[in-house]
Each structure stands twice: as structure tokens, then as C-alpha cells.
Amino acid sequence: MQLINDPILTQWQLPVGTLESIASYFREESIHEGDYFIREGNNSAKIGYVLTGQLKTFYRRGDEEIIRYFSLPSHWIGHFESFEYQKQTPQSICAVTDTQLLTITTSAFNTLINTLPLWKTIWETIKTSVETQRAHAFKHLANERERYLTFIETHPDLALNLSPEEIAQYLVISHQRLLELLCEMIFVPKTPQQ
């Protein structure tokens, strides 16, 4: 099971068989493009670890969709506070592409903590790492062109799988401005012939 290769989990020097034991509490699950892992307003019944594919986490403000971040392979997904305290989640998670996950339910998670108390400490490390990954890496860039170029350089696969609308929403650029940037990049002005 690929969970045992997770970089966060492998940094712990756990006794032989412990990672396999942790992995046994997770189940493989498929989500098709456009399907939801969780919808805004519901309680999060499970969390997941992305094996393949991409998901987006977003919320709605009126008719506008605000994308907070994308989860790629080897990322953990879910609304952790909703999962742990069974509160309504303020955001939705939806598959951008067909996605394979390893998921764990609330009851399996609690059983894992009772069976392996160290899991609670490991989970806190995972949550801290996830929050760092989710920090919007492009917000500090004031220049919209630089924001877009940095995004496509650091996440080329993601850029290919997203619609221009999703990229614009994520980078906090108007859709019109993103199209202008694309045109500027594609149609390099020609110098006048002498």
C-alpha cells in the first residue's frame, strides 16, 4: 500500500510492521472527475491520502467559487477540524481529474488512536505539514504575470488539467486578465521590417 511511502510517515523511525499496521486502517477509493469528496455544509466522515489524480478545495461566495488549494499525489485531503470534531465543513473538495485515494473513516481513525496511541502525535505532524503545503504560494507575488508564470513552472501537470477559469480563481486573477496574459505569451509582438 502506497501509504507506507508517505514522506511524513517514513520520517518516523517506527518499529517494523507499524507502517503496515497503520495502512491497514485505510481503504482504496476512486473518485471520478467532477465528483465530490465532501460538500460544504456536511460533516467530514473521512480523510484521504491522494495516490493519483488531483482535487480542489474551494468555497462559494455568492455565485463565485474561491479555490483555496489543490491536492496532488502524496497529499492528504479533507477538512480536518470537521473530521475530528464532526462539525460542518465550510468548504467542498472535488476531483479535478479521476482520482485514487486511500481513505480512513472517523471510527477507523479513533480505533487506530486506541490501538496505536503514537498515531495521535503522528497525525499532528501530518496536519502541520499539510497546512504548510496548503499555504497559497502565489499570494505574495503582486505581479499577475509573475504569479501565473510561477504557477505553470512549479505545477505544469496541474496547469494542464485545469480550466482557465479554475487557474484564474486560484491565482486571484480575473478571467479576462488571465486570457490577456496567455495571448501576450503566445503572440510575441513582431518587430517591424525595415
- In angstroms, rounded to a whole number, what is the distance separating the alpha carbons of residues 139 and 123? 28
Both 114 and 151 in one domain: the answer is no
Q: What is the mean pLDDT of residues 23-28?
A: 92
Both 94 and 47 in one domain: the answer is yes
The CATH number that applies at residue 113 is: 2.60.120.10
Both 96 and 10 in one domain: the answer is yes
Per-residue pLDDT at 92 exceeds 90: yes
Residue at 119 is within a domain: yes
Residue at 139 is within a domain: no
Q: What is the mean pLDDT of residues 61-66?
A: 84
- In angstroms, rounded to a whole number, what is the distance separating the alpha carbons of residues 48 and 14? 21
Both 69 and 17 in one domain: the answer is yes
Residue at 194 is within a domain: no
How many domains does the chain divide into?
2
pLDDT > 70: what percent of the chain?
Answer: 87
Determine what percent of the chain falls in helix, strand and coil, rounding each to the nearest 5: 45, 25, 35
Q: Which residue's C-alpha cell is 501509504?
A: 3
**pLDDT (0 to 100) of residue 2:** 66
**pLDDT (0 to 100) of residue 138:** 64
Both 165 and 110 in one domain: the answer is no
- What's the pLDDT tens digit per position in 152-171? 887 787 788 788 888 888 88
Q: Which stretch of 17-21, 65-69, 139-143 has the lowest confidence by average pLDDT?
A: 139-143
Name the nearest CA neighbour of 9 among 108, 96, 155, 112: 112
Both 19 and 110 in one domain: the answer is yes
**pLDDT (0 to 100) of residue 194:** 47
Both 180 and 88 in one domain: the answer is no
Both 90 and 171 in one domain: the answer is no
**When comparing pLDDT for 52 and 182, which is higher?**
52
The pTM is what? 0.76
Both 169 and 79 in one domain: the answer is no
Q: Sign of the C-alpha dihedral, residues 39, 42, 46, 49?
A: positive
Residue at 28 is within a domain: yes
**When comparing pLDDT for 16 and 85, which is higher?**
85
Q: What is the mean pLDDT of residues 71-85?
A: 88
Residue range of the domain that includes 126 = 2-134
Residue at 192 is within a domain: no
> Is 83 within 8 Å of 44 (Cβ atoms)?
yes
Per-residue pLDDT band at 5 (split at 50, 70, 90): low
Both 44 and 117 in one domain: the answer is yes
Residue at 64 is within a domain: yes
Per-residue pLDDT at 185 exceeds 60: yes
